[in-house]
Amino acid sequence: MTTTVRPNGPEERSAHGGRTRGYDIRVNSRPVGGLRLTRVPGYGPAAGRIEELGIAAPQDRRRGRATVAALAAEEILRGWGCVRAEVDIPAEAAPALGLFTALGYTERNRWLAKRPADQPPPLPAGSGFRPMGEREYAAWHAAERERLAAARRAQGAGPEDAAAHADTLLAAQLPQGHRTEGAVLRVLSHHGTDVGTLWLTTGPGRLPYGADGYVYAVEVAEAHRGQGHGRALLREAERRTAAAGGELLGLSVLTDNTPARRLYDSLGYRPVALRLHKPLL
């Protein structure tokens, strides 16, 4: 019997080269599952995502159907001009992780989550938080824009695409700047010196992977790292999420960022999902 992947609807296109389409996975003419492919816009060298891949009936699983579908998906993405494929795997989905690992995918980053502590430990002596003011927000926004653009340039995007990505993300998440509803922008000071910043968004059930609070950025000034300020910033994120009625706090971390992963692990964060990627040679 032959496993094939066939479109099940029209292709949708968006600005900056984005496109998406759904497909049926068939054995001969019988549908046994499905998937969706997306060409991610604005990535520079194009990235494509394999989404919603699943084999519906138990009797059709463990027969190589999903493997054939994933390989067919890669061929379609190559035809779309993609040079990298990505897939997000739930942390508990061991069979899916095994499938894509066997196909040469490696982990790039992971989403973590935890329940905020009912009563986080008090701040270290001499430490305190305050909301960002107008001038502080302007300086922070410029620095965050460059950080986001630099991350995209590191993935191969050109300067214009990287800057456009940063502007789009910040505009979407902070449409009213530091006055955006649900945005928590705080400055951490220690004995009168500003040492770090927190960008948290609260919105029960509307954030990645069902989180009620999501840490978009934690930054500690280089001269003050290794002194527990990152831990204090994350504890503040717990406090603010709990105060907003949230029961789940999430964030994302690059797989190779070992110090950050150790910190999150020590604070009780656990993996929710993994993003894997693979060059399409």
How high is the mean pLDDT of the chain? 92
In eight-state DSSP terms, residue 124 is P
Please name the residues in contact with 107: beta carbons below 8 A apart, sequence gap of 6 or more.
255, 274, 275, 276
DSSP H helical ranges for the chain: 65-79, 94-102, 134-154, 159-173, 229-243, 258-266
Amino acid identity of residue 31, one-letter, is: P
Mean pLDDT calculated for residue range 120-136: 93
Residues spanned by CATH 3.40.630.30 within the chain? Answer: 116-247
Q: Are 46 and 72 in contact (CB under 8 A)?
A: no
Q: Are 249 and 214 in contact (CB under 8 A)?
A: yes
SS3 166: helix
Mean pLDDT calculated for residue range 141-150: 95
Predicted TM-score (pTM) of the model is 0.89
| Alpha-carbon gap, residue 38 to 47, rounded angstroms | 9
pLDDT at 187: 98
pLDDT at 43: 62
Q: Are 11 and 38 in contact (CB under 8 A)?
A: no
Cα 146–chain centre separation: 18
For 231-264, the pLDDT digits (tens) are 999 999 999 999 999 999 999 999 999 999 999 9
Whether the pLDDT of residue 188 is over 70: the answer is yes
| Alpha-carbon gap, residue 132 to 134, rounded angstroms | 7
Pick the CATH number of 116-247 from 3.40.50.1820, 3.40.50.720, 3.40.630.30, 3.40.50.300: 3.40.630.30
State how far the alpha carbon of 143 is from the alpha carbons of 35, 138, 139, 147, 170, in Å: 38, 9, 6, 6, 12
Tell me the CB-side half-sphere exposure of residue 262, using CA atoms within 13 A.
6
| Alpha-carbon gap, residue 46 to 24, rounded angstroms | 24
pLDDT at 203: 86
Please name the residues in contact with 211: beta carbons below 8 A apart, sequence gap of 6 or more.
113, 246, 248, 249, 250
Whole-number percent of the chain with pLDDT over 70: 98
Under the banding of pLDDT at 50, 70 and 90, the label for residue 57 is confident
